Amino acid sequence: MANLHAKRIAAFGLGCLALGAGCVERRYTVRTDPPGALVIVNGEEIGPSPASRSFYFYGDREVTLIRDGYKTETIIQPINAPWFDNYLTEFFTENVIPMQLRDDREFKYTMKPYVSSPEGALRDRAEGLRAEAQVIPQPRRGGLLGWLGF
């Protein structure tokens, strides 16, 4: 009878641990200077900055920032796992520790104003490329190897 009572207490204790198990809440926020730039992360539009998003996995994110009057920028932003959420400790932080852990990241980017090129600069560059394209290149090698493209 005492053995059955001990098993019930142990089962109750394990049940309480399972219900009170913690988790890790992961979130990043993208801020821009000036604020209000459209934020696109990995091809998904998340809104005007400051924009926040929860995530499950660590790794690189492709962040694209778009705003009128500013250069569109694409940044590869790495998000590395903290000490408490690595391969060895992840099971315990997600399932055993009876509290919630937060991993909040904030990334701030300063956007550069768009500067248009001087009038005629684009035309001059196009004319230069057109002139280069009209010159026939010298063959690299004659004979059979030249015919084969070597």
Is residue 22 classed as helix, strand or coil in its secondary structure? Answer: coil
Residue 36 lies in a domain: yes
- Between CA 127 and CA 133, with CA 131 as vertex, the angle to 5 degrees is 115
In a domain, 123, yes or no: no
Reported pTM = 0.61
Residue 15 lies in a domain: no
- The confidence score (pLDDT) of residue 73 equals 94
Residue 146 falls inside a structural domain? no
CATH number at residue 68: 2.60.40
Q: Where in the sequence is the domain holding 78, given as residue range(s)?
A: 23-91+102-117
In this structure, is residue 96 part of a structural domain? no
Residue 81: predicted pLDDT: 84
- Could you give the count of Cα atoms lying within 13 Å of 85 in the half-sphere of its Cβ? 19
Phi-psi region of 69 (alpha: psi -120 to 50; beta: other; left: phi over 0): left
Tally of structural domains, the chain:
1
pLDDT along the chain (150 residues), means of 10: 64 55 82 94 93 90 94 93 74 72 91 85 89 80 69
